[in-house]
Every structure is written in C-alpha cells, then in structure tokens.
Structure 1
Amino acid sequence: MLDNFKSYSSQKENSPVFSIVIPTWNNLDILKNCIKAIRNHSELNHQIIVFINEGKDDTLEWVKSQKDLDYVYSPTNVGVCYALNSCRKLFQADYMLYLNDDMYVLPDWDKILYDEIKSLGTKMFMLSATLIEPTDTGNDCVVVQNYGNGLDNFQEEKLLSEYKSLIKEDWSGSTWPPNIMPVELWDLVGGLSIEYSPGMYSDPDFSKKIFEAGVRIFKGKGDSLVYHFGSKSTKRLGKNTGRIQFIMKWGFSSKTFTQNFLNIGKEYSSALNKPSLAQSKKIVNRLKKIYYSFK
C-alpha cells in the first residue's frame, strides 16, 4: 500500500498553527468550496494537507496547481483511517485538525479554537468546532439551520450574514470532525485504528484511546462554527461494522462511552471524571459482547 502513496509538501515561510487534514474522494467542487472557506475565513496561518482518494475528477491535478496545498495521493480509495495516518509525515504544526471536505468554516473559527487551546495549559485535550447542519438528526452537539445540502442550493451569503446568531454554549463530548488535538497526543495513541477501515466508528474509538491515555477534556466550542452539508462521501462507502467492532474491543457500546464517559451533548462545565457504570448497564454491555462474539 505504501508504494502506492505519493506525497508532496512545501516548506512554509511562516510556521503554521494548525496542520489541517482533509480526506477527499472524487469531490472536487465541494473540496474547492471547503478550501476557499479556510483561505477566506481563517485568522491564523495554517498548513492544509489534502488526502486524495482516486482523484478521478481531476482532484490531483487541481491540488497540484495550488501553491499552498500539500497532499498525499492514493490511486485507490483507502478510507479515512489510512488517509489520516499517512498524512502524519507531512505535519508541520504542533496541532492536527481533521476536517471533512463537505465542511465550510466560518469567520474566526480557528482563532476561537486556538485561544481555547492557549487557555487550557495542557496537551491532554481534544476540541471540536460546532457544526451547523441542514437537517435534524437528533444530535444535541450541532445547530440545525438549513442553508443548503449541496453546492447547487448553498445559501452562502445568507449563512455569512446570520451565523453569529447561531452561536451556542460550549458542549461536552468532542469526538468527530472538525476536531483538533496536539500532534503529540495523536502520536501517543498511534492515530486512527485501521481495523475500522474504511472508517465508521473510528472517531469514538480514537476518543476512547485518548481517554484511556488520560485525556479528560473533550470540549466543543459553541462559537467556532462550521457549516456541514452532510456525509457527501460516506453515503457512497461500503461501511465496516464499526458498532460491533467497538463493543468487541472495549466491552461496551460506543453509545455507552459517549453518553456515560463523555457526557456528549451536555453543556460543558469541567474536565470529565472516569464514571462508574451502573451494574445493569455493565450486564447489558456484557451480554451484547457475548451475543456478537457468536455472530
């Protein structure tokens, strides 16, 4: 596999604050929109690394033509786990931020995250920006407001005029992109676990790994806002059985972890403590593991 990966990185004139990794899979127009927003709405200097899966829509050629983009290219789709892990060799910043190509960052998004990082006084954290999504999926961590579910109906000007009214309180339970952590923390737990390839449930698994390493700050910033069109690549994927994989690996479900360990969706108050699960929940999760072990 490594023989198939081709990469390019230019030495930046100014040290970047974030190394932003964006996996993409034949989504050139929406990738351009994502990168346009980073260029236009970032306050700080960042390194942008694009992982190109296949690139049959001229993604590779376009990325090569952009002087400020670094990249790793795979002629086949290897999913998000291999994608993010393979970009590690290109990181030039102290902080790694994972962003999907169907996301559009809004003004001050990065300064808000960086100011929070500087206030924490520790490297043991994972932060997330807050997503604005067009449809209600029952996720308490996002803001629901429809500005389009694709480029053909994207109400960009309306979004830019209204986004400040969508700010919410900081929330607990950072797991999915856009999320940021120190590169040292990424290295400590070995990045994403490739057994989850192409990537379903690799997010809560990574959060569980850093939780085991001692991280107790999983915080979403309610005023760092990013619009999300919604799973433009994952809908095309053949998905791994991540829910079962998580139970078999950790002994309980990802839902148990995010709700009982990370307090996901609740207003952020302080660093987390390791919970003591109720005996009934322990039994339910043990039975689930036994059930899946025989399937």
Structure 2
Amino acid sequence: MKKRKKRNQPPLTSIIILTHNSLAYTKECISSIFQYTNEPFELILIDNGSTDGTLSYLTKLPNAKVIANQINRGFAGGCNQGLKLAAGTNIVLLNNDTVVTEGWLSHLLWWLRHNDQIGIVGPRSNFVLAQQAISQVPYKTIDEMKAFAKEWAKKHNKQGYETDQLSGFCMVFKKSLIEKIGGLDERFSPGYYEDTDFCIRAQISGKKLWVASDVFIHHYGSSSFKKNKEQHEKIVNESYSKFVNKWNVKNLHQLAQVVKREKPFNSIRHYVPY
C-alpha cells in the first residue's frame, strides 16, 4: 500500500550542489546541511569530473541522487541536470564551498511562503555580491561563525529587503518558477553571470528578488577558480561579454532598465530550456 502523506508535513526541498574536486569543502558543506536542516529535503549532487575522491564520497551519502559527469559541464549545465531530477516543491542551488547555519532553510522558505511576489530568496554572507554582503564579519573560526550566525539571525528575525540581483552561491525558489522561466543559460559556461541572467528572467516574469537578512551562510568563495587566477579572470570577462551582448546593456547598473524594457515575459525570448 502507498503511504499517505502526513498532514501539515512541510513540502520537500531539493538541494542541488555541484562539485569539482575540493572534497574538504564539500564534506563540510554537506555535514552542515545534515546538522542544521529540519525540513524534508533531498540532496542532488552533480560531480563535474572530480579526481580527488569526491565522487566516491558522494555515492556513499544516504538518500542522495548523484550524477557523475565525465567532463566539467560548468555551473549552468550541472545545475540544469539537477533541476531535471528535482522532486521538491522548493529548490535550493547551493555552492559546495559554503557552510549553512542553524535555521537557514526555515528562514529562507518563510519568505517564499509569506509573499507570493517573491521569486528568489538569498541569504547574507561574508563573500558575496555587495547587495548581500556583511563587509566586516567578526569571526575567525567556523565555530565562531556559527555563534555569530545564530546571534545575527535573532537580531534580524523576519527582516529582509528587495534587490536587483542575487548571487548563485545560494538561491532558493519554487519549482513553479523554473516551470515558468526555465533553467540556467548554458551559454555562460563554465561560470559567472548565469545567476544574474536567471534573476533578470525571474523579474521579467513579475517576481521579486529578496535578501533574507535573518540568514547568514558562510562562503569560502570561488574555491575552484582561485587556483588559476589568470584563467579565472578570463572566464569572468568572457561571461560578462556574453551577458551584456545578450541583454544589450553597457553595464550592470542597467539591470532595472532591462527588466522594464523586456516585460511582459515572452517565453520564446526569455524561457531557457533545461
């Protein structure tokens, strides 16, 4: 017999994480998820050709869906693979070089539940876009970070604000959003600006971008790119060029103008298959 769903049980959230080596970061990230996530969730893990034992670790995790790519599909390509597998009502895109904190998912989902106009929610962090950044964090260790995050969440309970873009290091949205606007644009592979592009399309569809001030997540930051600074800069510049060409803008200060110009949402122009 089929098990009945318990009454008032929170909906499932699909947490999608991409990996490409950096096993220590991945272990710390996933450990923090298991420690601090109270809502029903599934892990969807996409490995982009790791050679450091990451895949072996991922395949041993309980109740995880794992995709092993032989080659690096990039951030957008890997996330789109995860979106196809996602069974959750809610979806989280989360970088593997993050450490989540107490109450993180509850607080992020609260905003989606309590304001239908919000399409994507992101947390505050130490290493992130200026719109979400806490410039001076007082902690020096992860234990100190957890204490800081707990106090920060209490102090800023149910506080948040609208923004014009969110970082893809941690984005939370309903599955219904990707059914409307599609996934991440793979023209930006291997990375950068696919998150800004996703945010623009969400806004064109009539949704707001929201920063949850009552959530702090630690982000080590671009760990997979730091090893080769020259290559990193080349990737950023190429993706930026693709972005300004796609949206016909001179710079990122024109994002609001793009959204206004492109409305209403046109699926032929704005939907990205995934």
TM-score for both structures, normalised by structure 1:
0.74
Asked whether the 8 Å contact 2:139–2:148 carries over to 1, the reply is: no
8 Å CA contact retained: 2:204, 2:260: no
The letter of the residue matching 1:130 is R
Residue 257 of structure 1 deviates from its aligned partner by 3.8
Q: How many residues align?
A: 242
Matches for 1:40-51 after TM superposition, within 5 Å: 40-51=35-46
Give RMSD over aligned pairs.
Answer: 2.6
1: distance between equivalents of 2:16 and 2:129? 27
Change (3 A) 1:84 1:161: same
Q: Say if 1:196 and 1:242, in contact at 8 Å, map to a contact too.
A: yes
Deviations for 1:100-148, whole angstroms, at most 9, x for unmatched residues?
Answer: 00110110011111222211135x6111121133xxx882421131645
Q: Which runs of 5+ in 2 are unaligned?
A: 1-5, 262-274
1:226 is aligned to 217
TM-score by length of 2: 0.79
Specify the SS of the correspondent of 1:143: coil
Unmatched 5+ residue regions in structure 1? 1-12, 149-154, 263-272, 276-295
Identity of aligned residues (%): 21
| Residue matched to 1:255 | 252
Comparing 199-208 and 174-183, the one that deviates more = 174-183
Q: Does 1:171 align with 2:164?
A: no
Question: Is the radius of gyration larger for structure 1 or structure 2?
Answer: 1
Contact 2:76 2:194 in 1 (8 A): yes
Q: 2:111 matched to 1:116? A: yes
- 2:142 pairs with 1:142: no
Corresponding residue number in structure 2 for 1:213: 205
Which residue is equivalent to 2:178? 186
Residues 261, 98 of structure 1: alpha-carbon distance in 2 compared, 3 angstrom cutoff? farther
Aligned with 2:19 (options 24, 49, 54): 24
Q: Distance in 1 between matches of 2:184 and 2:139?
A: 32
| Separation of aligned partners in 1, 2:89 and 2:134 | 29
Residue-by-residue CA offset, 1:51-78 (whole Å, 9 max, x unaligned): 1011211111111111132111101112
- CA distance in 2: counterparts of 1:114 and 1:208, whole angstroms: 21
